[in-house]
């Protein structure tokens, strides 16, 4: 039983639920941030899937159902593009990156368009499958409306998982990122057990997930821990998500503990987690959502007290109005680089719905 002192003030949890629910669009999309200039008006599959998982964990079933319905509509809207990518990969002539699906969409489910963005990412199409399965497992949701969208997404991921693409942070599109592979593998594994795929496709999803896990645990490991990308020996704060909540790397696997230890050694200061050592975005601050991922991983390892320390730090970043930011500047890796981003996009995104959702998710885990 986790001491009550480890659970944040109820006001922040209630505010987080209400904020996410109130900002969800009529189409079902979760905005990344309602006011931040670069995020306003867009929904990311990855961010949205983790937001949905947090809301599902605290029982916001209708909100989460609406988000997954939005995901399915987007996938079906671009079914022809997906089939073109699948066919091109099968022919040994993969489509160029700009013809692959983007990471972000308008609330109406359209490609964002206009301006340059670091858009080709595969992780979000894995996380929506994973989060859909987790939600159905919690609440007994009917998955029949998602049959076609799940099947198309599985085909896309099976055909494309070996491709380099931008990572969670929309950087380094020439690399195979281990966090991205974990998201894909977790999504394929989830899809294989949903009971909505034909037998051949379900088997292919499961076998591809197993292949990805084997690849991650060989090519994605250095010095006993997971690495940022294949060929690197550095870590990334996103790697802890593969332990929990994605559970793609079993918590009892030696790599899990070694990865957490390496992240803590290189990226954690007073339980605030940096993205990676070379981060310069807004000076390279600490991200509440990454602290929540680290806390979930520690909880999965059977260390709730250590998990609670991460939750307490994340909660401490809330503003006087209870808004949680994308990152804070109490410990910057590159302080001389902060102002250039402020000049470009304004102050740090606040609130960030993903941060609020991860506090909900970790608090629920500790309460449970």
**Residues 183-216: tens digit of each pLDDT:** 999 999 999 999 999 999 999 999 999 999 999 9
Q: What pLDDT, on the 0 to 100 scale, is given for residue 8?
A: 66
pTM of the predicted protein model: 0.97
Backbone angles phi, psi at 318, to 5 degrees: -65, 145
Q: Is 170 a catalytic residue?
A: yes
| Active-site residue, selected from the candidate residues 60, 65, 133, 167 | 167
CA 133 from chain center: how many Å? 15
Quote the tokens at residue 230. 């294949």
Residue 269: per-residue pLDDT: 98
Q: Which of 27, 81, 97, 170 is catalytic?
A: 170
Annotated active-site residue in 60, 65, 236, 326: 326
pLDDT tens figures, 229-255: 999 999 999 999 999 999 999 999 999
User: What is the model's pLDDT at position 117?
Assistant: 72
pLDDT of residue 113: 65
Question: Would you state the pLDDT for residue 4?
Answer: 40
Q: For residue 303, what pLDDT is reported?
A: 97
Q: Which domains does the chain have, with CATH numbers?
A: 4-367 (1.50.10.10)
> Which residues lie closer than 8 Å to 163 by C-beta, 6 or more apart?
94, 100, 122
User: Is 266 one of the catalytic residues?
Assistant: no
pLDDT of residue 365 exceeding 60, the answer is: yes
* 326 is a catalytic site residue: yes
pLDDT value for 9: 79
For 198, the token pair is 């034909």
Q: What is the pLDDT of residues 53-79, one digit of tens each?
A: 999 999 999 999 999 999 999 999 999
User: pLDDT digit string (tens) for 262-288?
Assistant: 999 999 999 999 999 999 999 999 999
**Residue whose token pair is 């339980």:** 271
């Amino acid at each position: 039983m986790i001491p009550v002192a480890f659970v944040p003030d109820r006001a922040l949890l209630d505010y987080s639920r209400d904020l996410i629910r109130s900002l969800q669009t009529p189409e079902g999309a979760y905005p990344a941030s309602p006011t931040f200039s670069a995020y306003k008006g867009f929904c990311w599959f990855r961010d949205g899937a983790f937001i949905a998982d947090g809301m599902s964990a605290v029982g916001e079933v209708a909100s989460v159902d609406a988000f997954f319905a939005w995901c399915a509509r987007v996938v079906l809207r671009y079914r022809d593009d997906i089939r073109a990518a699948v066919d091109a990969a099968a022919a040994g002539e993969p489509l160029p990156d700009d013809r692959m699906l983007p990471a972000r969409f308008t609330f109406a489910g359209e490609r964002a368009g206009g301006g340059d963005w670091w858009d080709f990412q595969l992780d979000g199409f894995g996380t929506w499958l994973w989060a859909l399965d987790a939600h159905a497992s919690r609440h007994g949701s009917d998955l029949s409306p998602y049959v076609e969208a799940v099947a198309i997404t599985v085909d896309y991921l099976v055909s494309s998982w070996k491709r380099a693409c931008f990572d969670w942070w929309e950087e380094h599109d020439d690399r195979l990122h281990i966090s991205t592979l974990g998201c894909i593998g977790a999504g394929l594994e989830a899809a294989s057990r949903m009971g909505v795929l034909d037998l051949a496709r379900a088997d292919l999803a499961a076998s591809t997930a197993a292949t990805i896990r084997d690849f991650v645990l060989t090519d994605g490991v250095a010095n006993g821990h997971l690495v940022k990308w294949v060929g690197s020996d550095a870590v990334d704060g996103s790697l802890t998500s593969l332990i929990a909540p994605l559970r793609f790397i079993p918590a009892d696997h030696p790599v899990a503990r070694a990865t957490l230890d390496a992240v803590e050694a290189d990226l954690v200061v007073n339980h605030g987690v940096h993205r990676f050592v070379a981060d310069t975005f807004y000076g390279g601050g600490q991200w509440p959502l990454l602290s929540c991922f680290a806390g979930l991983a520690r909880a999965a390892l059977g260390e709730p007290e250590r998990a609670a320390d991460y939750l307490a730090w994340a909660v401490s970043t809330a503003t006087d109005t209870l808004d949680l930011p994308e990152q804070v500047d109490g410990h910057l890796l590159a302080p001389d680089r902060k102002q250039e981003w402020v000049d470009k996009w304004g102050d740090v995104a606040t609130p960030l719905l993903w941060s609020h959702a991860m506090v909900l998710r970790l608090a629920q885990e500790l309460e449970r």
